[in-house]
Amino acid sequence: MTKTELIDFICKDQKGVTKKACAEMIDTIFYAVQKSIKKDKKFAYPGFGTFILRSRKARTGRDPRTGATIEIKASKTVGFKPAKAFKDQL
């Protein structure tokens, strides 16, 4: 689902809400999720799941074109663990 499809889906269900207002609400929600993950290292929504900040260590890898060994820097990523209720619906 794309952002436009999400906006259309929500606006169809919520009468009287413009697409622009809906888009602003969705942007605000995702901004709040990002800030929460950055500050608290996680964001949990009951019945849906938990987003967790994860750290990857530096490691060595291979360039697939040349086969040469390269150093891959340490990085941060976000993991997701679905709630049991969500997993049961799949």
- Per-residue pLDDT reduced to its tens digit, 55-82: 999 999 999 999 999 999 999 999 999 9
Range of the domain at 26: 1-40
Residue 72 is part of a domain; what is its CATH number? 4.10.520.10
Q: Is pLDDT above 90 for 14?
A: no
Number of domains in the chain: 2
Quote the pTM value.
0.75
Residue 22: pLDDT band with limits 50, 70, 90: very high
List, as one string, the DSSP characters of 19-79.
HHHHHHHHHHHHHHHHHHHHHHSEEEETTTEEEEEEEE--EEEE-TTT--EEEEPPEEEEE
Same domain, 49 and 88: yes
Q: Which residues of 33-69 are buried (b: 16+ CB within 10 A; e: fewer)?
A: eeeebeeeeebeeeeebebebeeeeeeeeeeeeeeee
Same domain, 69 and 35: no
